[in-house]
Structure 1
């Protein structure tokens, strides 16, 4: 049974030898084709130069892969020593690393290069969208001060009107110095309010323009066709969008509001009391001092609020970096694990065949070692054994008697009758036996 299993295993190894060569050739050819596509995506120059350069490189890759795995399939299964196996495994590991370096990443670029570039464009759109929203928020942050400024302006104007009509502050009606000061403060606040309101239109215009750029970029990303021309148009839109975001960031009026708020207090010029009576002059001075305190307090509130807006981190300038298909596959490798697995498997699948052959040969050797000597002897060994048997027979040695004695040994027989085999002069190894059973004399 063991003999039949050994023969079947030997026949199987011989039968798959042709298939192994064919499989190695097909896998090497497939790797070369995808390597050609990957190389073409990263080379620049004329179409003819790119074609020949990519073709030569892909042919070299195919030949290298086929030769490497052919050598491994030929030698590794027959190396039985531990040190030899370790050395062969080290060589195999080094070869696998070199194959991945020269071919597998290019295969991945051919399989998922366009998708990786689209992934890069999609993430760029998300980054630019976040930058545009942040710049828009920073530009509109000063708009939050508008209600406070408007309320303070209306309060100054209302006090001015009440003082003019009924003398609510000084007790004397008419357009005196207090009325003029209140009207002046209200006018300054209205100017600041108008400036903030005017900036809103500019901010909204730039934000609308930026949204249009992003919409165009999304259209380029989702449109069909080759990725290269779409990536070029995308780059143009990205540069224009960068300028829009920078302009939007500079549109913020928070700095102007802070300076205007400081001017309300620092640039406060109190008019001279216009009353004719000392008592009225005293009351006007008291009201003007109160107005100065109110203006200083309001100025500090507006200045602090504007300072908080200015503390917001600005939008960092973003520069769009185009990526080739091969570079995009490396940058976004984690997003394309199936493509990388397929690209590497094409190149390293022969390792499975090598290990299968090694296991088959090891099993065949174990089965042959368990067979009897008659099943393992070769024809040459059989002829040499027959010559030795004839020489012993001519020398008078009874082999059959010796065999019976070894089969049923007796202690006394072994002690009484010495064996003639010890005194037999056998020919040395490699000596030709003469016709009389003796080696020819020199």
Structure 2
């Protein structure tokens, strides 16, 4: 039973040998094709130079892959020692690493290079969107101070009007030094309010430009066609959007508000009391001190709010870095695991066939080793052994000489013929000797009886 199973395994190995070579050739060719497509995406130069360079490289890869796995399939299954197996496994690992280095990543670039570049463009759009939103928020953050500035300006204006009409602050109506001071503070607040409103329109216009750039970039990411021209146009839009973001960062009115808040307190100039009576002058001074304290408090509040806005992280300048399909596949390898698996499998699949052959040959050796020689010898080997035995008996040659003569028929045909002729002569002599012996052994009576019978 063991001999039959071993024979069937040997027949199977012989039957799949052609298929194994064909599979190795097809896999090597497929890897070469995808390597060619991937190599073209990273080569620079004229179209002719790129074509021939990619062809030469891909052919070299195909030949190398076919030769390497052919050697492994031919030798590895027949190595039985532990040291030899370990050395061959080390060689196989080194060869597989080299194949992945020179072919697999280019295969992945051919399979998923365009998708990887689109992934890069998509993530770049998201990053630019975040930059634009942050720059816009920083630019309009100062506008949150507008209600406070408006209320302060209205309060100063109302106090000036009340003082002018009823003298509620100093007890004396008219446009004196107090009314003049309140009107001055109201005018400063109105000026600051105008600056904020003016920046609002500029920020809105810049933000709208940025939105249009982002819309164009998103369209390029999802548009059909070759990824190369789309990536070039995307780069142009990215540069323009970078300028918009920088302009938004410089449009913030917060620094101006911070300076204006300092000017309110530092640049406060109270007019000289113009009252005729000492009592009126005293009241005017008291009101001016109150106004000064109110302006100082307003200045501190504005400065604190402006500092909070200025403490926000600024938007750094972002540079768009174009990536080739091969570079994008390496950069976003985690997002394209199926493509990488296919690219690597097409190069390393022959290793599975090598291990299958190793397992089969190991099974054949295990089934044949326990059998005695008489059960393992084939009919052809038995006939060859008989011929060696005849040659040894007939010519007196040693077993080694007879075996060498049988293994080298082209160089020993004449010797074999001479041995056969000599063996025939020996047999003829033996026959004649036997006949003479038989004749002499007959007695005279028997010969007379035979003569009588003949007569």
Give the equivalent residue in structure 1 for 2:183. 183
Paired residues of 2:116 and 2:328 also in contact (CA < 8 A): yes
TM-score of the pair, normalised by structure 2: 0.85
Q: Distance in 1 between matches of 2:223 and 2:278?
A: 83
Give the equivalent residue in structure 1 for 2:58. 58
Q: Distance in 1 between matches of 2:223 and 2:181?
A: 64
Deviation at 1:6, TM superposition (A): 1.4
Give the equivalent residue in structure 2 for 1:312. 312
Give the equivalent residue in structure 2 for 1:96. 96
Give the equivalent residue in structure 2 for 1:273. 273
User: What do you get for the CA RMSD once the two structures are aligned?
Assistant: 2.1
- Residues 129-157 of structure 1 deviation map (CA, whole Å, 9 limit, x = unaligned): 00000000000010010000000100000
Deviation at 1:376, TM superposition (A): 1.8
- Residues 299-353 of structure 1 deviation map (CA, whole Å, 9 limit, x = unaligned): 0110111011111110011000000000000000000000000000000000000
Higher helix share: 2
Larger radius of gyration: 2
Deviation at 1:361, TM superposition (A): 0.5
Residues 42-441 of structure 1 aligned to structure 2 (within 5 Å): 42-377=42-377, 378-379=381-382, 382-383=385-386, 430=400
Paired residues of 2:392 and 2:402 also in contact (CA < 8 A): no
Paired residues of 2:2 and 2:367 also in contact (CA < 8 A): yes
Paired residues of 2:3 and 2:376 also in contact (CA < 8 A): no
TM-score of the pair, normalised by structure 1: 0.88
- Residues 190-242 of structure 1 deviation map (CA, whole Å, 9 limit, x = unaligned): 00001001100000000000000000000111110000000000000000000
Q: Distance in 2 between matches of 1:86 and 1:162?
A: 102
Q: Distance in 2 between matches of 1:109 and 1:388?
A: 67
SS state at 1:349 partner: helix
Deviation at 1:370, TM superposition (A): 2.7
Q: Distance in 2 between matches of 1:152 and 1:336?
A: 59
Paired residues of 2:392 and 2:399 also in contact (CA < 8 A): no
Give the equivalent residue in structure 1 for 2:450. none
Q: Residues 432 and 337 of structure 1: is their aligned pair in 2 closer, same or farther, counting only changes over 3 Å?
A: closer
Deviation at 1:124, TM superposition (A): 0.0
Deviation at 1:383, TM superposition (A): 3.8
- Residues 85-118 of structure 1 deviation map (CA, whole Å, 9 limit, x = unaligned): 0000000000000000000000000000000000
Deviation at 1:432, TM superposition (A): 7.6
Give the equivalent residue in structure 2 for 1:24. 24
Q: Distance in 1 between matches of 2:27 and 2:71?
A: 15
Q: Distance in 1 between matches of 2:402 and 2:359?
A: 41
Q: Distance in 1 between matches of 2:95 and 2:387?
A: 45
Deviation at 1:163, TM superposition (A): 0.5
Q: Distance in 1 between matches of 2:168 and 2:359?
A: 108
SS state at 2:315 partner: coil
What stretches of structure 1 of length at least 5 have no aligned partner? Answer: 392-426, 437-442
Deviation at 1:381, TM superposition (A): 7.9
Q: Distance in 2 between matches of 1:217 and 1:372?
A: 79
Q: Distance in 2 between matches of 1:82 and 1:428?
A: 37
Paired residues of 2:153 and 2:187 also in contact (CA < 8 A): yes
Paired residues of 2:203 and 2:251 also in contact (CA < 8 A): yes
Deviation at 1:169, TM superposition (A): 0.4
Q: Distance in 1 between matches of 2:157 and 2:387?
A: 131
Deviation at 1:358, TM superposition (A): 0.5
Q: Distance in 2 between matches of 1:264 and 1:114?
A: 59
